[in-house]
Amino acid sequence: MLRPTRDAPITRFDPGWLFLLAGLAILAATILLPAKADLDEASWQRDRALAIESQRRERLLRHERYLRALEAREPGVVQSLAATQLHLVPEGRVPILPVNLNADASVFPTLEPAPIRLPEQRTVASTLSRLAAGPRSRLWLIAGGAFCLMVGLLPPSRR
């Protein structure tokens, strides 16, 4: 029959658990924080590419719409081209603005969509993330975490 001795209480706290938890936390931070930074950068680049693609798609749609209107010989487009390219105004109408013969007669600036608003990259600049991503400090964190793990896994001391 086994029974506890008087000098060793059953509910004795082992401080090795604290080292074990600290070592696991340091190693997890060393692994997860650089991966999270890479994921954030990839998401930022994807968002930029999507914004650029959306702007280019809008530009193509505007040009296609203008081409269809030009091929259908819509009166508004024909009058606009006559006024800007040939400086001609239909009979019975007066131009609102005076005709500037030196002005650019291109229709393409009016077809361009609004300028792109690219998303900005957001980074978290904490001391832990800087240490976990640095080339030399990362090795020290891994070594420190492994040491804490080793200390935490040692058997408890006996008197």
* pTM for the model: 0.67
Of 93, 66, 86, nearest to 77 (Cα)?
66
Number of helices (H) and strands (E), helices first, in the chain? 5, 0
> pLDDT tens digits for 88-121?
676 766 666 666 656 666 777 778 888 888 888 8
Q: Which residues contact 33 (CB under 8 A, 6 or more apart)?
A: 128, 129, 132, 133
Domain positions in the chain? 16-153
> b/e per residue, 8-35, with b = 16+ CB within 10 A?
eeeeeeeebeebbebbeebbebbeebee
pLDDT at 20: 93
Render 92-115 in DSSP notation, one character per residue: T---SSPP-TTS---SHHHH--PP
